[in-house]
Structure 1
Amino acid sequence: MGRIVVGLGAIVVGVILLAAASSVLAIVLEVLLVLAGADLLVTGALGHCPLYRKLSYVPPSLRRP
């Protein structure tokens, strides 16, 4: 749930800042913020993070006793 909230927040803030961007660097950083927010939103909604598999990490909530 936390990923979804943070992802939505990052997308909203990125879009608001993007509307007022004046330099190329600011635009690039704000687009990256929106993309990071979208990634957090999708992985939070799906409950799956591909990076965890690559790192061989199992969250405590998915570990078997």
Structure 2
Amino acid sequence: MSNRWSINITPAERAARIIIGGAGAVVGIVLLVGATSTLAVALELLLVLAGLDLVVTGALGHCPLYARLGHVPASLKGRTS
């Protein structure tokens, strides 16, 4: 398996990303229903997308930005998964 897809997020961070991302996506959707201006729609769509990104990266355990920066948490160093 390529390093590109290796797990580079700790279990605690994965859980936090899923919870916070899910909440952000839900709040964005709720706010989007009552949006009255173009700016509000754009910002709420960004909130939904950011939330979904957190959910996906948390579920997969891989953050492309961390990989690009070469960041690996100390507790995950040496793992091959």
TM-score range (shorter-chain normalised) is over 0.9
Q: What is the Cα deviation at residue 10 of structure 1? A: 0.4
Instruction: Give the one of 7, 14, 21 matched to 2:28.
Output: 14
Instruction: For structure 1, list consecutive stretches of 5 or more residues without a partner in the other structure.
Output: none
Query: Could you state the TM-score of these two structures normalised by the residue count of structure 1?
Result: 0.94
Runs of 4 or more, structure 1, over 6 Å off, are none
User: 1:24-65 CA distances to partner (integer Å, 9 max, x unpaired)?
Assistant: 00000000000000000000000000101111111222123x
The aligned counterpart of 1:41 is 55
In angstroms, what is the RMSD of aligned CA positions?
0.7
- Structure 2 residue corresponding to 1:23, chosen from 32, 37, 57: 37
Kindly indicate whether structure 1 or structure 2 has the higher relative contact order, using CA contacts under 8 Å at least 6 residues apart: 2
**Paired positions, count:** 64
Percent of residue pairs identical:
59
